[in-house]
Amino acid sequence: MRRRLQYAKAAEELGIEESWLRRHIKRLPHSKLGRTVYFTDADLERIDALFHHEPTTGPLAAVPAPAARTGSHPLSNLRPLPGRGKQLART
């Protein structure tokens, strides 16, 4: 049988505050039986997948940040437009 967890137990499983679940309930996968809101294990996995973010830089990053690019910046050849009333020089 599938587990049906109410707010308090679901928040404990996710490691978050119950109030966060209540505030964001419209955006979260859940089921209702009458007025009772409950979460299945699949709902909890989906919530974790939706809101879990891993750091991409810094000491906690799972993968080190990409090395700095050598060479010029891809937009370095752009120049500002001339002021009003001046013709663009075509080269």
Global pTM?
Answer: 0.60
Instruction: Give the alpha-carbon dihedral of 9, 15, 20, 26, to 10 degrees.
Output: -70
pLDDT of residue 15: 93
Look at 76 and 66; give whichever has higher pLDDT: 76
Q: What are the residues facing 31 on neighbouring strands?
A: 38
Q: How many CB atoms lie within 10 A of CB 86?
A: 8
Looking at residue 20, what is its pLDDT?
95
